[in-house]
Homo-oligomer: A and B are copies of this chain.
């Protein structure tokens, strides 16, 4: 039996503790560090409930000692993350890799001053990573091929499904795709085309049923006997027409009364005090779906 390398999580919030669970379940020794003892207690209780044991510490040096991989999960502010990098640098092993859970900061900016920038990259999880396996890897101009390759392999070894960005745009890939659909959904409500729950039906009883197994390109590839190229010849003009129509009819809805109307529609379906139970149901369903995917 191979001994798995130690992993350190910096920041014990929702993301940090979810990462800790994933690494611990995969057999890695895990240390979780946070400057706030209350956060550490919360993480410790949650991880104990989940049946795993990790080291909890406020001490960066103790957390990083012997760690081959470090995942940073501090608040989403450049100055906090840069200060964290400066504080942890003296304790980071010379061959350790550092991944940042940032969802928005550009790696070329984020890691510019880090002395370990050749071994640092963005490793942006989908929240929470112990439920959703996609993880976005984005290197900076300094990240070595070896650091990227090793991180990709590490993510796969703990059951995650990494996607590598060749170029960074705001929102990376997952949040851009989500925003494209969500903003059109908002526009449809704002324009009185359909009520929020009717729009949810269009996703949960149609688009989402295939996208759970195959992404948009494979979906189109399988929808033509000649594959994607023939599909594009047949339907490209339609998608282009819709692209122009969506752009032409796209009222900015977030600063209007549309969110309040959607909120009211949601509360009519699900009272606020039933929300935690529905969240638990959602996560359990996703895990059942992942088991279904794994067995095929």
Please tell me how many copies of the chain the complex holds.
2
Q: Are B198 and A164 in contact, CB atoms less than 8 angstroms apart?
A: yes
Which B residues touch A241, using CB under 8 A? 170
A161-B205, A181-B216 in contact; A267/B198 too (CB < 8 A)? no
The contact string, 1 if C-beta is below 8 Å from chain B, for chain A 165-204, is 1111111011111111111111010011111111111111
Interface segment out of the listed A24-32, A45-53, A115-123, A221-229: A221-229
Whether, in the assembled complex, A149 has its beta carbon less than 8 Å from a beta carbon of chain B, the answer is: no
CB of A257 to closest CB in B, whole Å: 11
Whether, in the assembled complex, A250 has its beta carbon less than 8 Å from a beta carbon of chain B, the answer is: yes
In the complex, residue of chain B having the shortest beta-carbon distance to the beta carbon of A212: B212
Q: Are B206 and A213 in contact, CB atoms less than 8 angstroms apart?
A: no
In the complex, residue of chain B having the shortest beta-carbon distance to the beta carbon of A224: B275
Whether, in the assembled complex, A90 has its beta carbon less than 8 Å from a beta carbon of chain B, the answer is: no
CB of A127 to closest CB in B, whole Å: 8
Point out the residue from B210, B246, B254 that lies within 8 Å of A286, measured CB to CB.
Answer: B210
CB of A77 to closest CB in B, whole Å: 14
Q: Are A266 and B200 in contact, CB atoms less than 8 angstroms apart?
A: no
Q: Are B166 and A194 in contact, CB atoms less than 8 angstroms apart?
A: yes
Q: Which residues in window 246-277 of A have CB below 8 A to B?
A: 246-247, 249-250, 252, 254-255, 259-260, 262-263, 265-267, 270, 272, 275
A225-B275, A275-B225, A285-B296 in contact; A208/B213 too (CB < 8 A)? yes
Which B residues touch A229, using CB under 8 A? 259-260, 262-263
Q: Are A272 and B240 in contact, CB atoms less than 8 angstroms apart?
A: no
Which B residues touch A233, using CB under 8 A? 259
- 3 nearest A-B pairs in the assembled complex, by CB-CB distance: A200-B215, A208-B211, A229-B263
* Residues on A facing B (Cβ under 8 Å): 126-127, 131-134, 136, 161-171, 173-186, 188, 191-218, 220-223, 225-229, 232-233, 236-237, 239-243, 245-247, 249-250, 252, 254-255, 259-260, 262-263, 265-267, 270, 272, 275, 278-279, 281-282, 285-286, 288-290, 292-293, 296
A179-B239, A200-B215, A229-B259 known; 18 new pairs, CB 8 Å cut-off, are A163-B202, A165-B194, A165-B198, A170-B241, A177-B181, A177-B184, A179-B242, A183-B239, A185-B216, A203-B216, A208-B210, A218-B266, A222-B279, A229-B262, A232-B263, A236-B254, A237-B254, A285-B296
